[in-house]
Structure formats: C-alpha cells, structure tokens
Amino acid sequence: MPLGTAGVSVKNLPSEPYVIDDAQWKDTAKKNVQPVHTSLTSGAFTGQAMPFSLPQSGIVGELLITLDATLTVTTAAAVTGDRWPYGLMNGFTLGINGQQNLFGDIFGEDLRIRQDIAFPAFSEQVDVFPGTIGGGNSLATGTYPIHVSWRVPVATELITLTGGIYAQSPSTTVRVNISPSLPAAMFTAATLANAALTNALWTVTETFFEPAYDSQGRIIVPSGIGAMHSMTGTDLGITATGSSPLPLVRGSGNLQRLFLSFRASPILRLSAAPNAASSILLDSLTLSYGQTQQPYIWNPASVLLQKNNLDYGFTAPYDCLIVDTLKEDPTRDAIVYAGLTELKILAGVDPGVTLAGGTCHLVQEDVFQ
C-alpha cells in the first residue's frame, strides 16, 4: 500500500475556458520541435550562467540542451575527473514566474542518469567526447571535438504530458538557467593546466505542443497537465562514518524517484559495489519515517545496486543509486509526502572511509497535483 496520504493540490491549467479531453487532444494537438536559445562562448570556458526565457507557446514537453566545443590538450596529458563529460553542465534550473523552481540545483550528470533509466534500451550513438563516462582517462596532447547533450524531462513523458507546463499565457513566464562548469571540475588538479575548452556553443531545443479549440471555443488540453513534475537537488554533508541521517524535502505530492550519489571528498566517490574497497564503501541505506518506521532497508547497499541492475539492465553511471517507485507497481509503491513525518535516508558509511568534505548529492523527482 502507499506510504503517506494525499496533500495540497497545485494546478497547471489555462485561465481561459478549457476542456480536458485526451481523445480530442491526440487528434488535434500539433507537435513542434524548435531551437529557442543559443549562446556562444568563443574564449575561455568561464562557467558564467546563461539565463533565458522560453517562448509563451503551447505546452512545454521537454528540452534538449547540446554543447559543441573544442578541447585542446597541450604540453602533456590531461586526466579527466569523475564528473566527465556530462558534468560540463554544472547546474540547471527551470522555474515559473520567478517563484517556483520545478528543476533546481540539478547537475548535468543527474539529467543524463534520468535519461538512461527512462530509456533503458538507449545506446548512445551521437554524443562525441574523448574518454569514458565517469572520467579517469589520460588524454594525450591534441585537439578533440566535444558534442554532448542533456534531455530535460519537463513532462514525465510525451504521451500524457504529465507535468507539461502550460506556457501559452501572457501571465506565465518560464525561466531557464544553465551554468557551465569550470575546467577545474572536469580534470584532475595536477593536469588541469594542460586542458583548455573553447568555442563553446550551447543550443536549447524545445519540444512543445500547440492545443486546438473545440466547437465551443474552449482550449483542448490533455489530462496530464493537471499535475506538475519536478526534479530538485540538494547536497547534504556527511561528517562521520556509520549511520548519517539525510532528510528529504517533503513537498505536496508523490516521490517518484530518489537519486543518491555519495562522496568521501570532492574528488573521491563512494561505491555500493560488492567489490569496492573499504576506503570507498557505502555499507547500507535505509528509508525511514516517523520515529521507528523503516519500510526499506538495503543492507548491504549493493542490494539496491542489484535492484537497479534488474530494473534497467545496468547500474547507473557516476555511482548513483536510485530508489524507483514506478518500476513495479506505482500505485502500491507510492510515497506520498503529506502523510509522512521525518522522512529521511539513513546512509551507512564504512568505518574504513576517510571523510574530508563528504557529501550526498540527493535528487528528488516528484509529481504533485
């Protein structure tokens, strides 16, 4: 049965007369895929944020962000860091009317992981970069083309458009902010001076849907936009080995997925792999609420890793662990924030780990209606 009870409703519907009719929507809506923003940085890759607004058109389904750049390695080899290459986008936010961030404090890696698990049969054939995901590669001197992309699932998917944003209103402003990474986040400190990323061209392509009107002059919309979809991240400190409580942010809807990535230090990830050394081992994870309730205990933490492997056919990159309420029975396994107090993850870090700025990067993917 679901954990928790229903909470506050938030609507994402037209202010003018409308009718919710999925059958008419499928017959009359027009799909559009159009570039909506470009930004060129011809010199150094400075990490300067790039804010812009989406057009006030239709229902926003998804964004595709692409980066084309040139990587030049001079003097000696450069070694890629553990955020390579999808950490080239350091941060992403998307908000409505300057008040509510539906996507906030999201790393590029988070978006890549979300794409991989949403499309488990996906095999990358387009993105181009030297080395491998997760870094640790020694890149020889030379010039390398970079083309990497991130899919932003504004709606949970493009059939029902659950969580799609109704942007076709003069009173709705959808603001997006992309924050590129500095080269220091992409290469080891000892080899950073050997790498330069230049001629960075960012392109944002929007998929949106134009609604039609029925015979009574009402806008036809799908049932999915009665809900909103969000992905919000936070970095929580881990200062001691053993069990560390990591509180979740309780919103007004349902938790769909929880993404968990752990670090012992800014340059060392923790792993739940059964063969991980004790110096980087994440021992256990527990989902807890109230004073004593612990419905999910993954001990050892590799139990959750194995579940991810079973669900998707692979384990997520960047040593990410995923609590997924959608894979088996979304109704039975729902986690409803409003009925739960003191909702948190208890992370067990092996005594063999040396913590120096340890963190958990925690992303909550929610739907609220």
Please tell me the predicted confidence (pLDDT) of residue 11. Answer: 52
In DSSP terms, which residues pair with 91 in a beta bridge? 179
In DSSP terms, which residues pair with 208 in a beta bridge? 32, 60
CA 186 to chain centre: 19
Q: Where do the DSSP E strands lie in 136-194? A: 138-139, 142-152, 165-166, 174-180
- Pairing state between β 219-221 and 18-20: parallel
* Cα distance between residue 22 and residue 14, in whole Å: 16
Residue 85, class by beta-carbon neighbours within 10 Å (0-12 exposed, 13-18 middle, 19+ buried)?
buried
Please tell me the predicted confidence (pLDDT) of residue 44. Answer: 56
CA 323 to chain centre: 14
- H or E stretch including 254? strand 254-265
In DSSP terms, which residues pair with 365 in a beta bridge? 231, 257
Q: What is the pLDDT along the chain (369 residues), one digit of tens a residue?
A: 567 644 433 357 788 899 999 999 999 999 999 999 998 875 556 778 899 999 999 999 999 999 999 999 999 999 999 999 999 999 999 999 877 799 999 999 999 999 999 999 999 999 999 999 999 999 999 999 999 999 999 999 999 999 999 999 888 899 999 999 988 889 999 999 999 998 899 999 999 999 999 999 999 999 999 899 999 999 999 999 999 999 999 888 999 999 999 999 999 999 999 999 999 999 999 999 998 999 999 999 999 999 999 999 999 999 999 999 999 999 999 999 988 999 999 999 999 999 999 999 999 999 997
Q: Provide the whole-model pTM.
A: 0.94
- H or E stretch including 104? strand 100-106
Amino acid identity of 244? S
Q: Where are the domains of the chain?
A: 30-210, 228-368
Please tell me the predicted confidence (pLDDT) of residue 48. Answer: 80
**Domain 228-368, CATH:** 2.60.120.20
* Cα distance between residue 97 and residue 65, in whole Å: 22
In DSSP terms, which residues pair with 207 in a beta bridge? 33, 62
Token digits of residue 67: 């980066």
Looking at the domain covering 30-210, what would its CATH class be? mainly beta
Token digits of residue 352: 């063999």
249-266 residues labelled b (16+ CB within 10 A) or e (exposed) = ebbbbbbbbbbbbbbbee
Q: What is the dihedral of CA 248, 161, 126, 191, to 10 degrees?
A: -20
Using a CB cutoff of 8 Å and minimum separation of 24, what contacts does 326-331 make?
326/256, 326/257, 330/256, 331/2
Please tell me the predicted confidence (pLDDT) of residue 9. Answer: 39
